[in-house]
Structure 1
Amino acid sequence: MKSHGSRDKLQAAASSGHRRVLLLVFASCFALATFLTYVYNTSRLASASASASGSAASAVAESALPLPVFDALVHYASLSNATHRMTDTDIRAISAVLRARGPCNLLVFGLTTESPLWVALNHGGRTVFLDENEFYVKYLEPRHPGLEAYDVSYTTKVRDMRDLLDAARASRAAECRPVQNLLFSECRLAINDLPNELYDVAWDIILIDGPSGWNPTSPGRMPSIFTTAVLARTGATAAKGPTDVLLHDFQFEVEQVLSKEFLCDENRVAGSGTPSLAHFVIRGGGPRDAFCSGQDSTAATSQTPQEKTEFGGKGKKTGTGSTSTRSSDK
């Protein structure tokens, strides 16, 4: 009986050991399967992420206008004999910035002969026009499907430029500050009646080619220059990085004086414009009470000594430039 009992014990011990080996093998196989599943899923996620990034980049590349088409449009636009069109050099300078930044969010003050060209060159992006003439907006929209334009009611006059500038300087730390929500601005130079969503767009390029300013009762570009300067420093536009600002008809008094005040000489890109087109790069943020370096927030003089020299001391630019008809005014 003793020998039978020992044999049973040995058999039980062998059976128990066998089960432990099987359990160990099973656990090892389970751990290996879990590890391989984790590696496989991680690899798939990485591949999917890379594929999504590549697809997004590919989508942007595909939406951009092919360069031969881009160049052909610029070429034929520069040869146009349309009335009141831009010069060949101005068209090519603006097109060069669009090629570098597009497709992008492009805001244009003024509806002009070149408006369809800007829409075409920014193919795949968003191009929005703001114009003083409600009837011209309604006239162009059905003739150019896809044209997005809004009319703006300007309350300023060219003849009031000095008074408006004095008021803006006096309230640079308050109503006319560089960083603010334009929807609620009480600054006389602020445009605050646009569709609300336009203030939330991250504008990459802003082209100032309006409103008209060819006589003392014209609105002038004082509001569009000030509003551009604030947009570029505020909200979504400031958050996405620098904004390229292109100012047409730069040879005139309003454009020179207001750009010096709000767009700033230190932001001007040397060699990228023309005598009649200035190119600025505006970065977001900055001081609360100054648009440009060296500005005194408490100063509210009607003219600086330099302005008195440049513009004859009475707000009138010397020479023939200030009295010539603007090529882009309708």
Structure 2
Amino acid sequence: MKTTAKFIVLHPSVYKTAGGTAHRGWIAVFLLLFFFTFSFTLITTRNAAARTTASAAPGGANSQLLPKPVADALLHYATANATASGRMSTAETEKMASVLRRCAAGGACNLLVFGLTHETLLWSSLNHNGRTVFVDESAHSVSEIERKHPSIEAYDVQFTTRSGELQHLIGHYRREKSNQCRPLSINDLPNHIYDVPWDVVLVDGPSGYSAASPGRMAAIFTAGVLARSKSGGGGGATHVFVHEIEREAERVCSEEFLCRENLVETIHSLAHFVVPKIDVHSNKIDFCLKSI
């Protein structure tokens, strides 16, 4: 029996169809990948833009405020040993923190602090999106804080008055203020400090613990001047805090230059004044509307 071999012949169109199908499949895969990549990029970009807009907008969903849990943690650790001499109590730091938070909610907050203390890094952190400047009598302390924390802006100045001179200086000021005499001015305070519209001023230095040490008379006087003549177009009143208000120099100078009518409250040793800006047409500033 003769067997005849049979050959199966594939028509060329079979190859073309298979190859064409595979080619079209790769094109489809490429288009899908392109579509998903483009969509992902577009969505991501829009979300990032929305987050940026929200954070830039005052009072937006993601405003420039330090997250409250972070602020609470900072306050907790800063006041863990609040009974140490010279440190603020928990209630005092919480009061400062609440004012800084309200200030920052309205935009960048300008904070001026007299004295480098245990709370220095706390104030700088709580006002992280604003400007914080420290003024201290110790050149060494300023140098050390700048070395350890380069982002801190601090200046050393000479306080020429002494705590034991309080009554003499106050008497001299009252006699000469009509002649624009300012015996309590800080002569080497950087000029640009006067050009900043300070929203919050804290007086927690110089130390002033003895009659021969630099007192806080000049710092409180300067705080009153800066608040009354608030410059740079800044509107509104200035929150001025004076720590250790129970001491004579702090109490007397606060009454003289920050005024009783501006005292909002006293928490432990921290006095909180809200000092309004006044229109100054000369170098003379009448600090208080009411007599002491």
Q: Specify the TM-score bucket, using the shorter chain as the normaliser.
A: 0.7 to 0.9
TM-score with structure 1 setting the length:
0.65
1:217 equivalenced with 2:212 (yes/no): yes
Q: Does the 8 Å CA contact 1:107/1:127 hold for their aligned counterparts?
A: yes
- CA 162–96 in structure 1, closer or farther in 2 if over 3 Å, else same: same
* Contact 2:55/2:63 (8 A) holds in 1: no
**Which residue, 99, 102, 116 being the options, matches 2:101?**
99
Tell me whether 1:290 sits opposite 2:291 in the alignment: no
**Aligned equivalents of 2:111, 2:285: Cα separation in 1:** 27
- In the other structure, the counterpart of 1:157 is 162
Deviation at 1:141, TM superposition (A): 1.1
- 1:117–1:206 Cα change, 3 Å: same
Per-residue CA deviation, residues 32-53 of structure 1 (Å, 9 max, x unaligned), is xxxxxxxxxxxxxxxxxxx989
Report the alpha carbon displacement of residue 242 of structure 1 after superposing the two structures with TM.
0.4
Q: What is the DSSP-based 3-state SS (H/G/I as helix, E as strand, rest coil) of the residue aligned with 2:267?
A: coil
Inter-partner Cα distance in structure 2 for 1:239 and 1:263: 19
Amino acid at match of 1:100: R
| Alignment map for 1:20-35 (pairs within 5 Å) | none
For 2:169, the aligned partner's letter is L
Deviation at 1:59, TM superposition (A): 8.2
TM-score (structure 2 length as normaliser): 0.73
Higher mean alpha-carbon deviation, 200-209 vs 76-85, is at 76-85
Q: Which residue number in structure 2 is paired with residue 74 of structure 1?
A: 75
Partners of 1:294 and 1:82 in 2: how far apart? 36
Paired residues of 1:203 and 1:237 also in contact (CA < 8 A): no
CA RMSD of aligned residues (A): 2.5
Within 5 Å, which residues of 2 pair with 1:137-152?
137-152=142-157
Matches within 5 A, 1:1-330: 55-57=56-58, 62-80=63-81, 83-84=84-85, 85-102=87-104, 103-176=108-181, 187-236=182-231, 239-270=234-265, 273-285=266-278, 288=284, 290-295=286-291
Judged with a 3 Å threshold, the aligned counterparts in structure 2 of structure 1 residues 65 and 252 are, in CA distance, closer, same or farther, namely: same
Residue identity in the other structure for 1:166: G
2:70 counterpart letter in structure 1: V
| Cα distance in structure 2, aligned partners of 1:220 and 1:60 | 44
The count of aligned residue pairs is 234
Q: Which amino acid aligns with 1:204?
A: D
Same amino acid, percent of matched pairs: 45
Q: CA deviation at 1:192?
A: 3.3
Give the corresponding residue for 1:326.
none
Paired residue secondary structure (2:178): coil
**Is the Cα–Cα contact under 8 Å of residues 238 and 285 in structure 1 kept in the other structure?**
no
Answer yes or no: is the 8 Å Cα contact 2:97–2:126 preserved in 1.
yes
Aligned residue type for 1:127 = T
Code of the residue aligned with 2:277 in structure 1: it is G
Q: CA deviation at 1:286?
A: 6.0
* Higher RCO (CA 8 Å, separation ≥ 6 residues): 1
Greater CA deviation, 58-67 or 228-237? 58-67
Do the aligned partners of residues 95 and 256 (structure 1) sit closer, same or farther apart at CA in structure 2, a change above 3 Å counting?
Answer: same
Gaps of 5+ in 1: 1-50, 177-186, 296-303, 305-330
Which secondary structure does the structure 1 equivalent of 2:192 belong to?
helix
The unaligned stretches of length 5 or more in structure 2 are 1-51
Deviation of 1:82 (Å): 8.4
